């Protein structure tokens, strides 16, 4: 063989070998998820049928919530992803069963998280099965979520009330960066129903968030509180972050993922610029550890950042990691990498791979049967509320599996 042909043959063998290794990595992790989810399913048999996995207690046993908390969609969603990754019929049956328990949510209007609750469950169910009844439930859910939109604030109200960590002040139109994630349900509903009202609401919300929730350097405020009489911003604070002016890692993750998704649905470059800016801020941050799993807030214990007096963040000295934020960002980066040029796309894909490798390594991925049968360790729910500190969280597992699937599509 001529030298040039030899080099080309060796290069393609190397690339093929590299891909094979990556495919093995993905299928090993789906195999692991299959076993761990089946362990969890066994545990759920001993519980109330409407108890949805969330995290663990101090003894390391699984704890659950009812369906009206913000997280019930993630366990069925993980079952759907694991089914797609393994084609195991038991996982298909369980994904169906756990999704269909959530049907009453279609009329739920008490907080903004219906997107997470319904789109991660029924959205995946519809994507995979194409069942008409699932589509109807998703459209009805979008109608319910839309009732929380206020044209004066140009936003969907996240919670009905928010109490500052600084004292007793209450706000009655708080919007959190997490809310970007709930817009995916609205975009879906417009495509599925032909009614553009949902999409218009989603775009308005995203524009308002871009203006008021994202700082000039593309870091993010967690909570923005509005005056419903004139749409003015009353306060920019934090609920789950370290300080009002800090950047809560999972909030930044929701923003990267959310603006990437809004760009996918609109092709409006302003949203792409925001997604890229937020991703670059995250990836280039000097406080991001080498394994790319962030501390729970980028500004913990830094000069110039002070938690409110009532926040438990004043008492916690240990700088915990939040692996859930890494899982969300990894998934987002695999999508974002498709929307930017090659150089940046490669950078985002490499970062997503690195995060996945960390999460799937011994530091973050639990042994089979351990960690309350959740997959990912070392997440933080909310240090200010003194809740769910250094524990597994059901949404970390969901985005870990979604990231694996998105990575698989790139090979
Ligand atoms: N959406 C709530 C959270 O991220 O904790």
Among 65, 112, 156, 178, which residue has the most ligand 1 atoms within 8 Å of its CB, making it the best to mutate? 178
Q: Does residue 6 carry a pLDDT above 70? A: no
Q: Is the CB of 84 under 6 A from ligand 1?
A: no
The CA 361 to ligand 1 mean position distance, Å, reads 24
Report pLDDT for 1: 54
Query: Would you say the CB of residue 178 lies under 6 angstroms from ligand 1?
Result: yes
Question: What is the Cα–Cα distance from 96 to 86, expressed in whole angstroms?
Answer: 16
CA distances from 287 to 53, 281, 284, 294, 300 (A): 32, 11, 9, 8, 10
What is the whole-number distance in angstroms between the Cα of residue 384 and the centre of ligand 1? 13
pLDDT digit string, tens, across residues 142-168:
999 999 999 999 999 999 999 999 999
Task: Give the pLDDT score at 8.
Answer: 55
Summarised one tens digit per residue, pLDDT across range 246-286 is 999 999 999 999 999 999 999 999 999 999 999 999 999 99
% of the chain exceeding 70 in pLDDT: 96
Q: From the CA of 178, how far away is ligand 1's center (Å)?
A: 6
Kindly tell me if the per-residue pLDDT of 4 is higher than 60.
no
From 114, 179, 240, 296, the mutation candidate for ligand 1 (largest count of ligand atoms within 8 A of CB) is 240
Q: Which ligand 1 atom minimizes the distance to the CA of 250?
A: 4
Q: What is the pLDDT, as a whole number, of residue 305?
A: 98
The better pLDDT of the pair 70, 15 is held by 70
What's the CA-to-centroid distance between 201 and ligand 1, angstroms? 21
pLDDT in tens, 105-136: 999 999 999 999 999 999 999 999 999 999 99
Q: Chain-wide mean pLDDT for the chain?
A: 96
φ, ψ at 172 (rounded to 5°): -115, 5
- Please indicate whether residue 322, judged by its CB atom, sits closer than 6 Å to ligand 1: no
For 364-394, what is each residue's pLDDT tens digit?
Answer: 999 999 999 999 999 999 999 999 999 999 9
Does the pLDDT value for residue 10 go beyond 70?
no
Q: Is the pLDDT of residue 5 over 80?
A: no
Termini Cα distance of the chain? 29
Q: Tens of pLDDT along 63-88?
A: 999 999 999 999 999 999 999 999 99
Domains defined along the chain, listed by start: 3-409 (1.50.10.10)
Specify the ligand 1 atom closest to the Cα of 382: 5
Handedness of CA 316, 320, 324, 326 (dihedral sign): positive
Q: Is residue 178 flagged as an active site residue?
A: yes
Q: Distance between CA atoms of 286 and 128, rounded to whole angstroms?
A: 40
* pLDDT at 304 (0 to 100): 98
Nearest ligand 1 atom to the CA of 240 is: 5
Q: Of 19, 28, 88, 178, which is the active-site residue?
A: 178
d(CA 299, CA 311): 15
Q: Scanning the structure block, which residue is given the tokens 């990894």?
A: 330
Please name the residue whose Cα sits nearest to atom 5 of ligand 1.
Answer: 381
Compute the average pLDDT of residues 38-51.
98
Nearest CA-CA partner of 41 in 118, 97, 94: 94
70 lines ligand 1 (CB under 6 A): yes
Known catalytic membership, residue 113:
yes
3-class SS of residue 113: coil
Give the mean model confidence (pLDDT) for residues 51-67: 98
Report whether pLDDT(16) > 70.
no
State the pLDDT at residue 228.
98
Q: What is the pLDDT of residue 17?
A: 73
Question: In the prediction, which pLDDT does 15 show?
Answer: 58
pLDDT of residue 11: 56
Closest residue to atom 1 of ligand 1, CA basis: 178
DSSP per position, 210-256? HHHTB-TTS-B-SEEEE-TTT--EEEEE-SSSSSTTS-BHHHHHHHH
Q: Report CA(156)–ligand 1 centroid distance (Å).
A: 16
pLDDT above 90 for 18: no
Residues in the chain, total: 411
pLDDT at 7: 60
């Amino acid at each position: 063989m001529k030298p040039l042909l030899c080099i080309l043959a060796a290069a393609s063998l190397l690339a093929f070998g590299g891909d094979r290794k990556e495919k093995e990595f993905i299928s090993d992790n789906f195999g692991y998820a299959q076993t761990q989810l089946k362990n969890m399913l066994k545990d759920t048999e001993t519980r109330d049928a409407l108890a949805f996995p969330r995290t663990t207690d101090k003894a390391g046993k699984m704890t659950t919530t009812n369906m009206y908390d913000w997280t019930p969609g993630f366990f069925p969603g993980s079952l759907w992803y694991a089914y797609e990754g393994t084609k195991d019929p038991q996982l298909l049956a369980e994904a169906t069963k756990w999704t269909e328990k959530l049907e009453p949510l279609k009329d739920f209007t008490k907080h903004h998280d219906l997107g997470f609750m319904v789109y991660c469950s029924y959205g995946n169910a519809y994507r995979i099965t194409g069942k008409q009844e699932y589509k109807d439930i998703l459209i009805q859910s979008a109608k319910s979520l839309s009732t929380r939109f206020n044209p004066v604030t140009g936003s969907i109200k996240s919670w009905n009330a928010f109490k500052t960590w600084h004292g007793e002040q209450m706000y009655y139109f708080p919007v959190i960066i997490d809310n970007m994630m709930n817009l995916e349900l609205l975009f879906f509903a417009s495509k599925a129903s032909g009614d553009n009202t949902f999409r218009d609401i989603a775009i308005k919300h995203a524009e308002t968030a871009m203006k008021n929730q994202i700082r000039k350097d593309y870091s993010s405020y967690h909570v923005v509180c509005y005056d419903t009489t004139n749409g003015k911003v009353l306060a920019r604070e934090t609920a789950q972050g370290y300080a009002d002016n800090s950047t809560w890692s999972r909030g930044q993750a929701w923003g990267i993922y959310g603006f990437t998704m809004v760009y996918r649905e609109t092709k409006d470059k302003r949203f792409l610029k925001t997604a890229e800016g937020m991703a670059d801020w995250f990836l280039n941050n000097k406080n991001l550890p080498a394994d790319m799993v962030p501390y729970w807030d980028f500004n913990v214990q830094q000069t110039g950042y002070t938690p409110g007096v009532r926040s438990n963040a004043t008492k916690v000295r240990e700088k915990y990691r939040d692996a859930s934020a890494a899982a969300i960002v990894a998934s987002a980066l695999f999508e974002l990498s498709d929307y930017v040029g090659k150089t940046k796309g490669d950078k985002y894909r490499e970062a997503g791979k690195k995060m996945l490798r960390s999460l799937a390594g011994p530091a973050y991925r639990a042994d089979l049967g351990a960690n309350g049968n959740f997959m990912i360790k070392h997440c933080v729910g909310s240090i200010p509320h003194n809740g769910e500190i250094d524990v597994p969280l059901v949404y970390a597992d969901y985005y870990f599996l979604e990231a694996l699937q998105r990575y698989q599509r790139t090979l």
